[in-house]
Amino acid sequence: MSDTNINLLVKAISSYWPSDPSDKARRYIGQFYDRTRLGTKISGKVEGNHGTYTVTVHLQETNLSSACSCYIGKGGNCHHCIALAKTFVKEPLGFRELETRKIEDVKSMADLEIYLKSVTLETLLSQLRGKGITQKAFAESIGMNTRHLALIKSSEKRNRFYNELGATKLAVLWALEHLADSER
């Protein structure tokens, strides 16, 4: 486990949410399960008033962002996000570090699953843009409405995963590989 990433995340959380959490948030601290960490991104699930919520907190350079699948957590900063952050500060080793794979190291279905969990659709689409393929052109090529593709991409950020997310990531990977093959 990378102590550097843990320390960066604890410092950012302590700076971003320096005060004691509200009573509403306090009751969720330590209640998360399926706690994971990938670099400086943590996530966990918690039973809320209206079902199970998926919560993430992510440090990118100096920007801390959060999201929750609850009805008010779209932009983050709901009491579930604060509770996940405070849970991490209290017990950082209680978060399982996720494995990652580089695309060139994917040799099995298990490797593929690990890779797809560690890469966002937004990242894959930006790789396509680097090859000169716009999001609109990609969506049209697979028979998808561009607004639907945008919804799938933004839903991943908000932890409200569309069923098509994995298939869409695979379609982007196929396009990236096909373009790479055609350029040789």
Phi, psi of 4 (to 5 degrees): -60, -50
Q: What tokens appear for 76 in the block?
A: 């983050």
> Residue 162 pLDDT > 50, yes or no?
yes
Residue 42 pLDDT more than 50? Answer: yes
Number of domains forming the structure of the chain? 2
Is 18 in a helix, a strand, or coil?
coil
In the chain, % of residues over pLDDT 70:
96
Q: Is 0.85 surpassed by the pTM of this model?
A: no
178 lies in the same domain as 111: yes
Q: How confident is the model at residue 117 (pLDDT cuts 50, 70, 90)?
A: confident
How many CA atoms does the CB half-sphere of 101 hold within 13 Å?
Answer: 15
CA distance 126 to 169: 12
Per-residue pLDDT at 8 exceeds 50? yes
Q: Which pair of structure tokens corresponds to residue 86? A: 């405070």
| Domain finish residue from 97, 128, 161 | 97
Both 92 and 110 in one domain: the answer is no
Domain termination residue (choose one: 41, 68, 97): 97
pLDDT of residue 77: 80
Average pLDDT value for residue range 1-22: 88
CB-based contact 108:94 (threshold 8 Å)? no
Q: What CA–CA distance (Å, rounded) separates 113 from 106?
A: 9
- Are 107 and 93 members of one domain? no
Mean pLDDT of 95-106: 88
Could you tell me the residue range of the domain that residue 68 belongs to?
A: 3-97
Domain boundary among 43, 68, 97: 97
Strand, helix or coil for residue 67: strand
The number of beta carbons lying within 10 Å of the beta carbon of residue 72 is 11
Q: What is the mean pLDDT of the chain?
A: 89
Mean pLDDT computed over 139-150: 93
Do 10 and 72 lie in a common domain?
A: yes
Q: In terms of domains, do 86 and 112 share one? A: no
What is the per-residue pLDDT for 1?
Answer: 45
pLDDT in tens, 58-100: 998 889 999 999 888 777 789 999 999 999 999 999 999 988 8
How far is Cα of residue 175 from the mean position of the Cα atoms in its chain? Answer: 22
Spatial neighbors of 82 by CB under 8 A, at least 6 apart, are: 17, 21, 22, 25
At 113 the pLDDT is 87
Q: Which of 1-5, 54-58, 62-66, 132-136 is the least confident region? A: 1-5
Band of residue 181 on the pLDDT scale cut at 50, 70, 90:
low
Q: Are strands 33-38 and 96-97 parallel, antiparallel or unpaired?
A: parallel
State whether 123 and 90 are in the same domain: no
